Amino acid sequence: MSLADAFHGRNVLVTGGLGFLGSNLAIRLVRYGARVTLLDSLVPQFGGSFFNIAPVRDAVVLNISDMRDANSLDILVQGRDYIFNLAGQVSHGDSMRDPQLDLAVNCVSTMNLVEACRKHNPDARLLYTSTRQVYGRPQSLPVNEDHPTVPIDVNGINKLAAEYYHLLYHGTYGIRSTVLRLTNTFGPRQQIRSNRQGFATVFLRQALRGETVGLYGGGRQVRDFNYVDDVVGAMLLAITTPACLGKVFNLGSEHAYSLVEFVEVLGKFCKFKSESVPFPDDKKIIDIGDYFGDFSRFRAATGWTPQVDLEEGLERTVAFYREHKEVYWQ
């Protein structure tokens, strides 16, 4: 069965539906003919915006509410075939500056969601998007799912706890959950105006504005990158593949790049300069060093491989943000 067939006419809830991942997912789900409800708190700094879903604004149901409120979730989960749990606080730096907010948004909210499913929709299929940050500093590369989890920021700890809640509710109550650990995801509809969604968004904004891109400590750190359309595809496969039930999977890419190399590729589409700058102390302390993930387990389970490489992805991304510069970065 194709993904389009799998989702046609199905009732889907997307938490964080106005955010980067959620809006891109929503657009795909609408194309597949799903009945889509988007839940978003629109906490200003979290990245959600109405503009993100402009292409499907009239084809989805919007529900503005905060998952820290358990009562609304008890209602909102009912009748859903699929629930994509994408909402969350993603900034590592913010998680250190306001750890209690991160705890509430990532742990309390997730607990509310799995409890709501247990009580009101135990047959729902759930997907949770976690982060490679749960591993901390890699002890060896590439990192697979058996690598020890030693988070080095509050966000990594809280996302890990949220993973565990999903897996526990699968093992204990049969709530059918899958966890994906995302790496650097980039593409249209990301909040690039702030510094909250990773260095790639900062570089992109600086490049688009023609500013000088600052590479911490020379930019030799290695990372892997996924274009958002590939991540949307991964989420759709993960939530429809029985072999993914109750499991955790890495995403990742065939090739890893240093930040210098990333900036070189970006330079094909934008005119800007870059320079090495000192690593700020507050960033250095939560920096994980080199990272790239092994996604062979997810590939074996679902057949997924990334289709859009860094160059093609950045070309599309730059084109999108150029077209919508007033909205995202000007």
Q: Are 39 and 249 in contact (CB under 8 A)?
A: no
Answer left, alpha or beta for residue 135, where phi above 0 means left and psi between -120 and 50 means alpha: alpha
CA distance 80 to 236: 15
The DSSP element (H or E) to which 103 belongs, if any, is: helix 99-103
Q: Are 52 and 16 in contact (CB under 8 A)?
A: no
Q: Does residue 168 touch a copy of itself according to CB under 8 A?
A: yes
Q: Does residue 2 touch a copy of itself according to CB under 8 A?
A: no
Q: Does residue 245 touch a copy of itself according to CB under 8 A?
A: no
Q: Does residue 222 touch a copy of itself according to CB under 8 A?
A: no
Restricted to residues 55-74, the positions that interact with a copy of itself (CB under 8 A) are 70
Q: Which two tokens stand for residue 317?
A: 């991304």
The single residue among 40, 94, 115, 230 that binds a copy of itself, judged by CB under 8 A, is 115
Which region, judged by CB under 8 A, interacts with a copy of itself, from 165-173, 225-233, 264-272, 289-297? 165-173
Answer left, alpha or beta for residue 115, where phi above 0 means left and psi between -120 and 50 means alpha: alpha
If the CB atoms of residues 52 and 130 are measured against a copy of itself, the closer one turns out to be 130
Q: Does residue 152 touch a copy of itself according to CB under 8 A?
A: yes
Q: Which residue has the tokens 């084809």?
A: 59
Q: Are 251 and 298 in contact (CB under 8 A)?
A: yes
Q: Does residue 172 touch a copy of itself according to CB under 8 A?
A: yes
Which region, judged by CB under 8 A, interacts with a copy of itself, from 3-11, 93-101, 196-204, 215-223? 93-101
Which region, judged by CB under 8 A, interacts with a copy of itself, from 51-59, 102-110, 124-132, 197-205? 102-110
Q: Which two tokens stand for residue 177?
A: 């959950």
Phi first, then psi, for residue 253 (nearest 5°) are: -135, 160
Q: Does residue 113 touch a copy of itself according to CB under 8 A?
A: no
Which region, judged by CB under 8 A, interacts with a copy of itself, from 77-85, 121-129, 147-155, 181-189? 147-155
Shortest Å, Cβ 13 to a copy of itself: 21
If the CB atoms of residues 132 and 316 are measured against a copy of itself, the closer one turns out to be 132
CA torsion through residues 204, 210, 211, 217, sign? positive
Q: Does residue 145 touch a copy of itself according to CB under 8 A?
A: no
Q: Does residue 160 touch a copy of itself according to CB under 8 A?
A: yes
* Closest C-alpha among 155, 47, 150, 46 to residue 98: 155
Q: What is the DSSP letter of 308?
A: S
Q: Which residues bind a copy of itself (CB under 8 A)?
A: 70, 96, 99-100, 103-104, 107-108, 111-112, 115, 149, 151-154, 157-158, 160-161, 164-165, 168, 171-172, 285-286
